[in-house]
Structure 1
């Protein structure tokens, strides 16, 4: 029995209909370097999705490798309640220099969904302990996605992930999100004043009195198809939250650490949330780690004698894992010393230009939107009417299969193909990735 046969015998892959694997068997990856993956037969694949958006500085980065190896011989893990260690302390110190202003208290967990659960519980308990017991509900944006646990699914709006579980979910208020490609106001994201924000204003007028927090993906709704909206929306939302005493929770799990061209998406709007969730690029995609960071104001609502019952009784076994902290410290050092964001900005313009030159005139490419190195190619059946392909055609999936054959990891979001490569991708790698992408699209459409 070979490795593929053993995989199919034992493994239930995430976010997959396993019956599809009868047609498209799993690919056994043997090793990786930079933006390239290599299977057991030596075939190369360009990883333009950063292995689910987490690989920030390339696979097997020697500097991150060295930090983890060094830590491995010192301390691999220790309970993080009443014990601590230098890598976690140093990491918080480094992150406090780059996070939006006012975010100073760090609560560690081990994945993005867990960071969101932490933020929701933190917001709820904060309101309760500051005399606002009536604030028990949450708001979120339609088409939002914040993870797979029950609380995280509750504050998402994508039926693909949540529909079957609705009887288990919290009763959450859903605000109609910006849709800049199909803007009902006839505007575009580059020149609007976020007229669509009226939906949030109406929701706050009706329900802010019972709302403890609103959670958003700032500027980029990833799983919705890399939907990008303007910074002015965030500015307005920050002011609205302040007016109604509603906590603003920014889910920067996918957008943090340079993905949008700035260290955090909130930086584009010059605003600070009350709580921020970070993960994915935090460790460069090496180790499972997430952090929920909040303000001293929120933290102080939990600070009391133990018998007052105000402690935040929330924990994860692998909170503050030393190996993850060392990987994250290495990421921060590389970003700073090698001026990665500045270099990535040059590549971002080049990638968008190459994709537009190659595909924008294609009759089935409706829009190529981008922020930072992230580019989303929206496929449509009719360019003039912006009509989507019928979902039963699985057009994105058909192109994905061709792309794999052509050596490109181009995992679709419905009818949206996207590039979200490591920040260190070169122009030569961009050229080859675009060539493989265009070939794959042309083989299907």
Structure 2
């Protein structure tokens, strides 16, 4: 069957995520038949370089043989068993290894990032209830933060497009200023912005600490905020404030974990340890749905009791799925055996060099890079920039999906030099074709 056949069948049968379906009357859905490495191939044989790792989940390239082999090996013995009252080798080994890597323990599993957010929020709320302080029931999030689209996660998501429609249903969090380094004025740096944001956060904590359970933060990079980078100093200050005011720190590393920022976990760059760590996306290398929340032993102990109601009774049918945990174990093996973080540093240098002309394009503002993430903002009068740029890049055989006027690259770690050059050339062509030429030189790069 052709692309057109699958496109029409999909439009008739599938409700696609994060999509106004009517737009697909003019912007066709792309049916994918197979994938390998960086390349997605449609049913007509056209190929596309996956520059965003299929929504940030794919780490080492599509079809990575070692992850596939681990799943196949596990499939021969056990595909799934419920984790209530049962356990199995992959979930035990994965939990032990994640604990050794993070210093946190007792992993609680679900299937997606939003569910991990829900788990962390509920655990924090329930901890304070078990501790005899039920008034500590509210949460703090950052401006423009995104933590998922289930109801609890929407309560700590400050993106009106996602949250406003459901305002009557959600319990909104207190919103603290973002440490987004793009806010730096004359004579300021990213660290100055971070300190100013932390100072305002302290004012909020000082006034409301008795009612606050936790603050949730995307360490170093706020993704849906337009890849808003912040200085590690902000995380250090937040950790100190949480300790001072007795408030939990939830690190949402769903998007930035597993090497995306240059370290295995982003919070490592601040030298801190959160109270809760949320993981998903890259945890299985893009093969299977899995998410995880790790927490401190002192928090776990508040639930350990003869009273059943003091236990954490949250559950998902596929919690700790054996196949998904096997994929995650293979991911950790690849990081260790292939020295991925070291290799990524060399890859990042080459990709940054390939993007040099993009960096200086007259429409580009705030070009920024961290680890295996690159982003820049585009000065353009076009209100349809994101859709138009997406379409132009697809025509050039590249998958990029701007967030508003922010273009970003978050490719699989297997990206080759020729693919870097293809992305750079296609990006320049699209910016020129769409008339994205600013009146002044490109804005300064951020640290």
Q: TM-score range by the shorter chain?
A: over 0.9
**CA separation in 2, counterparts of 1:55 and 1:160?**
26
Once the two structures are TM-superposed, the CA of residue 350 in structure 1 deviates from its matched residue by 2.0
Q: What secondary structure, in the 3-state scheme, does the structure 1 residue paired with 2:33 have? A: strand
> Deviation per CA, 1:349-385, whole angstroms, max 9, x where unpaired?
2222322x2122222111211111101121124xxxx
**CA separation in 1, counterparts of 2:142 and 2:371?**
22
Once the two structures are TM-superposed, the CA of residue 122 in structure 1 deviates from its matched residue by 0.1
Q: Quick check: 2:94–2:328 contact (8 Å CA) kept in 1?
A: yes
Q: Normalising by structure 1, report the TM-score.
A: 0.95
**CA separation in 2, counterparts of 1:352 and 1:47?**
17
Worse-superposed segment, 131-140 or 232-241: 131-140
1:361 equivalent to 2:360? Answer yes
Worse-superposed segment, 199-208 or 261-270: 199-208
Q: What secondary structure, in the 3-state scheme, does the structure 2 residue paired with 1:313 have? A: coil
Once the two structures are TM-superposed, the CA of residue 436 in structure 1 deviates from its matched residue by 1.8
Once the two structures are TM-superposed, the CA of residue 61 in structure 1 deviates from its matched residue by 0.4
Q: Quick check: 1:141–1:216 contact (8 Å CA) kept in 2?
A: yes
> Deviation per CA, 1:324-364, whole angstroms, max 9, x where unpaired?
00100100001100011110111112222322x21222221
Q: Cα 1:313–1:195, aligned 2, differ >3 Å: closer, same or farther?
A: same
Q: Paired residue for 1:20?
A: 23
Q: Quick check: 1:194–1:230 contact (8 Å CA) kept in 2?
A: no
Q: Paired residue for 2:283?
A: 282
Q: Paired residue for 2:236?
A: 235
Structure 1 segments unaligned to the other structure (5+ residues):
382-388
Within 5 Å, which residues of 2 pair with 1:248-397?
A: 248-307=249-308, 309-355=309-355, 357-381=356-380, 389=381, 393-397=383-387
Q: Paired residue for 1:109?
A: 110
Structure 2 segments unaligned to the other structure (5+ residues):
436-447
Q: Normalising by structure 2, report the TM-score.
A: 0.94
Paired residues in the alignment total 432
**CA separation in 2, counterparts of 1:360 and 1:110?**
37
Once the two structures are TM-superposed, the CA of residue 186 in structure 1 deviates from its matched residue by 4.7
**CA separation in 2, counterparts of 1:290 and 1:44?**
30
**CA separation in 1, counterparts of 2:293 and 2:181?**
29
1:409 equivalent to 2:399? Answer yes
Q: Quick check: 1:146–1:251 contact (8 Å CA) kept in 2?
A: yes
Worse-superposed segment, 193-202 or 393-402: 193-202
1:36 equivalent to 2:32? Answer no
Q: What secondary structure, in the 3-state scheme, does the structure 2 residue paired with 1:168 have? A: coil
> Deviation per CA, 1:48-99, whole angstroms, max 9, x where unpaired?
1000000011100011111111111211111110100001111112212222
Q: Cα 1:138–1:186, aligned 2, differ >3 Å: closer, same or farther?
A: farther
Once the two structures are TM-superposed, the CA of residue 125 in structure 1 deviates from its matched residue by 0.5
> Deviation per CA, 1:265-324, whole angstroms, max 9, x where unpaired?
1000010000010000000011110001101000000001145x2111100000000000
Q: Quick check: 1:341–1:423 contact (8 Å CA) kept in 2?
A: no
Q: Quick check: 2:142–2:217 contact (8 Å CA) kept in 1?
A: yes
Once the two structures are TM-superposed, the CA of residue 131 in structure 1 deviates from its matched residue by 2.0
Q: Quick check: 2:289–2:324 contact (8 Å CA) kept in 1?
A: yes
Q: Quick check: 1:368–1:378 contact (8 Å CA) kept in 2?
A: yes
> Deviation per CA, 1:382-405, whole angstroms, max 9, x where unpaired?
xxxxxxx46xx1212211110011
